[in-house]
Amino acid sequence: MTTQSTTAQPYLVVEDLKVRFTTEDGVVRAVDGVSFELPRGRTLGIVGESGSGKSVTSMAVMGLHARGKRTEIAGKILVNGKNIVTMTDEETRKMRGNDMAMVFQDPLSALHPFYTIGRQITTAYKVHHPRASKEDARKRAIEMLDRVGIPEPHRRVDQYPHEFSGGMRQRAMIAMALVNNPALLIADEPTTALDVTVQAQILDLLTDLQKEFNSAIIMITHDLGVISQIADEVLVMYAGRVAEHGSIEQVMRSAQHPYAWGLLESIPSLHGDPEEDLKPIKGNPPSLINVPSGCAFHPRCPYRMMNPGPCDLEVPQLLAISQPGHSVACHLPEDRRVAIYTNEVSEVGVAQ
């Protein structure tokens, strides 16, 4: 049970988080110095491509990486003031599902095929309420199923995941995540596996639930449309680092990082001239074992400054710009970035 109720102090603080995996091919710098804060009642969208480190970050916040010789985690993750990174496994386990919970991409594979939906939800409840009776736990499960919009929860509670449709399964997954009233909910691509009409329902549900429970939500997705609909602020990640961080308005309407521009320009829109060519980002996302020197995006960046440097030599710091709450990790001077955005980017793709 969380006692924290103020929104003044951020519920989640991530400071200079680094996650490294040692593999046979080399060291994977999956997350390399990520910092952000998130108060209750707000939604942070983390956008990035595969290998950007967005999922690894969320797993680290959940304390789900098995620490050992092969996995190294550094930095700070404060959940409700308690540092996940330095905690024992048992301490993080007690917080998991209770203070912070997670919803995954594919609800069919994320639910155990052999147990009923009800049993899985009651299990999640009873872990953190060991004194709750079977009847209480079941009542709670039915209540949660009802709350997430599953019709006939009394009947559905005894069904198995394969008897649910895709959308209903994701609702059940959300019910399971929220059964202990966690203050922080991490949703990792929760609608990617769903049909678009069902996706809309789930996004609406998450928004409603957030209002009701005043939870902090991290929404991980590659879909800028989903981010625009649900997030208050956005973290754009590239190759394990934060490229840009700001409010949804700031990132979607006056993006400052060339990678963010690339995303905005390359996504086809439902508006504008369909005959116009998209502007793709050239090249491929880098391997995290062999991250390009300096700014990891520089090999793909049309605006890079080289010979001499700094883009290929120095890792750009994530610095606040004149707009409060907006920060960017890019060597380009701010006035130049503003000019590029206004003249080139804002006319193309979804940015318009």
**Positions 320 through 339 that interact with another protein (CB under 8 A):** none
Q: Report how far residue 162's alpha carbon sits from residue 199's, in angstroms, rounded to the nearest whole number.
A: 19
Which one, 122 or 214, has the nearer CB to another protein? 122
Find the shortest distance in angstroms from Cβ 313 to another protein.
24
Q: Which 55-114 positions form the footprint of another protein (CB under 8 A)?
A: 62, 64, 89, 93-98, 101-102, 104, 106, 109-114
Q: Quickly list DSSP for 56-125.
A: HHHHHHTT-S--SSSEEEEEEEEETTEETTTS-HHHHHHHBTTTEEEE-S-HHHHS-TTS-HHHHHHHHH
Q: Does 282 bind another protein (CB under 8 A)?
A: yes
**Residue 7 vs 352, nearer CB to another protein:** 352
The nearest distance, CB 144 to another protein, in angstroms, is 13
- What is the rounded CA–CA span in Å between residue 316 and residue 333? 12
The count of chain residues that interact with another protein, using the rule CB under 8 A, is 79
Decide if 45 contacts 231 (C-beta within 8 A): yes
User: Residue 159 corresponds to which tokens in the numbers above?
Assistant: 């069904």
Query: Which member of 28, 30, 79, 203 binds another protein (CB under 8 A)?
Result: 203
- The residue within the footprint of another protein, chosen from 284, 290, 317, 342 (CB under 8 A), is 284
Q: Which of residues 241-260 bind another protein (CB under 8 A)?
A: 248-249, 252-253
155 is an interface residue for another protein by CB under 8 A = no
Distances (CA, A) of 308 to 86, 138, 255: 41, 66, 26
H or E stretch covering 169: helix 166-178
Residues in the chain: 352
Q: Shortest gap between Cβ of 307 and another protein (angstroms)?
A: 25
Q: Which is nearer to another protein, 21 or 309 (CB)?
A: 21
